[in-house]
Chains A and B, each alone.
Chain A
């Protein structure tokens, strides 16, 4: 995806805390109408990166630009285009939802308060808007946090782990909302997550971050195709099956716990392999196609570490 001007660009962000490098040389760009996933295990540097994106932390090296405006040089002008939730949707618990929204509307140019009814409807909080936030569930706080982030009609929405604390229905709701904001309002949305399935379903492009470094960046579809699709073959006895398959399929792995083989091979190689197994007297119980997932990509780029 190429864009005239990215909504957000991070260039070589680097940050260490007392000698420990938390984020190292992280770069990416995010365009209008695009949902960008920032995927990595907890502690990989996601939240530190987000803190640098919104000016809470100063990068040791590197630069953040929002709509082309240098964040370090012109903080207020850059942040006028941003709505965000960092780490958790913390709002004032002793204020009502409406009071919280009014509070943050006062920090924006005139007219933000007028959006409150519409936003309350959008995040389905109309009925509880005049209750104190301390009585809200985590999911409701998450939704109020999103409404707060949208108050200024931003071009860039930054959501840190938006699926945290939500039930499956809530997660679906957020996913739908994020897709709609990108598609209908042309917002660039930056979503961090440690959940592969989440990112896979919600995002157009993804960056995988691990130990403070981005290991792979690209459209979700491209990353998926990079990891070859595979087959799962369950045949007995396993030792004999290995003997037969070994010469035919390069790089045959050891059988897994169920004594099944996970092979990555083009589909054309499968009928021949099955015929050879049958002819050798090996009993074939199952041959299944395995679609590659971001998890495979992740395992691949991190060298086998799980999320």
Chain B
């Protein structure tokens, strides 16, 4: 029995159930609102004088600092980067104080990694297995000449496909809307990457400048990885609880806990091993402080991967063995 037709089935059901279309609609509406809010916010400031003159003055001032040679080496690197960045904006005629389509698109991965993407992932994951129990169709699905593990694997494949598509489409919608508001250019603007918080100070030894598109790919990769982990854990609750409502409730509670814990109990070290703590991964990759001091991007990737693998192990062994009495 070939595997692809099974995945086709699951994708078809996801689509026909209209859940996917609803999620896309939510994405479009939400991103639209964020863009409008930011454009309106900027308008309040009113237009300032010519930004080019401002920026040229800034660049000249910083060049002066470097020429005088009195800056310590760490600050010197910062200044040199800042000059390069502003020069890029001058060369491409983009106001450095203003957002750009690409900048907003990259930022989407950051703000959407606090809840939005994960909630959407749960919307798919929570019922991909339990709805078959609720509708009684599981009795047909599991009495066909296809092993239970294969059936479950096809559902997992469809789920990961839907999650990947959601993250990707989120980025595309953010770019389209952001570009509409601030212009579509700026993919090769230099951005700094590689910050690490070492205790109280920023360790900038690993900092380097990369073009925006390269940074965006990494940020979106991390956002996808975190979202896929949430989806897989939601998948497990869907298998275990066999009820969409119960599965969604459990996952929402976990996500909310993840946003509360670092605020109310930031010195409880153990929470860094919880998957929810690692979810805003793209945000602290781009320089925000991690939820718990000492957490690094590789550490979070390992934590998330361990949770995802454990969830898959539980899902498959339970689903393959359990009696179906729905």
Which A residues lie at the B interface, using CB under 8 A? 51, 54-58, 75-77, 79-80, 82, 84, 86-88, 90-95, 99, 103-104, 106-109, 148, 152
Docked pose: A179 CA to B126 CA in angstroms: 43
Q: Which chain A positions have C-beta within 8 A of B18? A: 94
Contacts of B324 in A (CB 8 A): 51, 56-57
Q: How large is the interface on B (under 10, 10 to 19, 20 to 34, 35 or more residues)?
A: 20 to 34
Asked if residues A90 and B144 are in contact (CB atoms below 8 Å), the reply is: no
B144 contacts A92, CB within 8 Å?
A: no
Fill in one digit per residue for B142-160: 1 if any A CB lies within 8 Å of its CB, else 0: 1111110000000000000
Q: Which of B17, B141, B323, B325 has the most CB of A within 10 A?
A: B323
Give the residues in chain B near A107, CB-CB below 8 Å.
Answer: 1, 5-6, 9, 141, 144-146
Known: A57-B323, A106-B9. A148 touches B140 (CB 8 A): yes
Can you report 11 residue pairs joining A to B where beta carbons are below 8 Å apart?
Answer: A51-B325, A55-B142, A76-B145, A80-B145, A84-B143, A86-B140, A90-B135, A92-B137, A95-B13, A99-B12, A104-B140
Q: Which residues in A have their C-beta under 8 angstroms from that of B211?
A: none
Which residues of the other chain, B, contact A148 by a CB distance below 8 angstroms?
140
Known: A55-B142, A58-B323. A94 touches B17 (CB 8 A): yes
**With an 8 A cutoff between CB atoms, is B136 at the interface?**
yes
A93-B135 contact given A58-B323, A77-B145, A103-B9, CB 8 Å threshold: yes
A75 CA / B17 CA spacing, docked (Å):
30
Q: In the docked arrangement, what's the CA distance between A297 and B144, Å?
A: 36
Q: How many angstroms from the CA of A108 to the CA of B1 in the assembled complex? A: 7
Known interface pairs A77-B145, A108-B145. Does A90 touch B140 (Cβ–Cβ under 8 Å)? yes
Contact status A56-B139, CB under 8 Å:
yes
- Pick the 3 closest A-B CB pairs, nearest first: A90-B136, A106-B5, A80-B145
B16 adjacent to chain A (CB < 8 Å):
yes
Whether B144 contacts A108 by the Cβ 8 Å rule is yes
Complex Cα–Cα for A86 and B137 (A): 10
Complex Cα spacing A58 to B321, Å: 9
CB-nearest residue of chain A to B143: A54
- In residues 102-146 of chain B, which contact A (Cβ within 8 Å)? 135-137, 139-146
Please determine whether A56 and B323 come into contact, CB atoms closer than 8 angstroms.
yes
Partner of A95, one of B5, B16, B145, B325: B16
In the bound complex, residues from chain A placing their C-beta under 8 Å from that of B141 are 107
**Within the complex, what minimum Cβ distance (angstroms) separates B125 from chain A?**
19
Nearest CB in chain A: distance from B19 CB, A: 10
- Which residues from A are CB-within-8-Å of B137? 90-92
Please indicate the chain B residues that have their CB under 8 angstroms from the CB of A57 in the complex: 323-325
Name the A residues within 8 Å of B6 (CB-CB): 106-107
With a cutoff of 8 Å between Cβ atoms, the chain A residues found around residue B146 in the complex are 76, 107
Q: Are A92 and B142 in contact (CB under 8 A)?
A: no
Say if the beta carbon of B8 comes within 8 Å of chain A.
yes
Distance between Cα atoms of A91 and B139 in the complex (Å): 10
- Asked if B13 and A92 make an inter-chain contact with CB atoms under 8 angstroms apart, the answer reads yes
Of chain B, the residue at the smallest CB distance from A151 is B144
Distance, CA A57 to CA B143, complexed state (A) = 11
Within B1-55, which residues are at the interface with A (CB < 8 Å)?
A: 1, 5-6, 8-9, 12-13, 16-18
Residues of B contacting A103 with CB < 8 Å? 9, 12-13
- Min C-beta distance of A98 to chain B, whole Å: 12
Residues on B with C-beta less than 8 A from A79 are: 143-145
User: B16 contacts A99, CB within 8 Å?
Assistant: yes
Residue of A nearest to B136 (CB): A90
Please give me the residue from chain A that is nearest to B13 by CB atom.
A92
By a CB distance below 8 angstroms, the chain B residues around A86 are 139-140, 143
By a CB distance below 8 angstroms, the chain B residues around A109 are 1
Which residues of chain B are within 8 angstroms of A84 by Cβ–Cβ distance? 143
User: In the bound complex, what is the Cα–Cα distance between A58 and B323 (angstroms)?
Assistant: 6
B273 CB to nearest chain A CB (Å): 36
Complex Cα gap A57–B5 (Å): 26
- Starting from the known contacts A56-B139, A106-B8, 9 additional A-B residue pairs (CB-CB under 8 Å) come to A51-B324, A76-B146, A77-B145, A92-B13, A92-B16, A94-B17, A95-B16, A106-B5, A106-B9
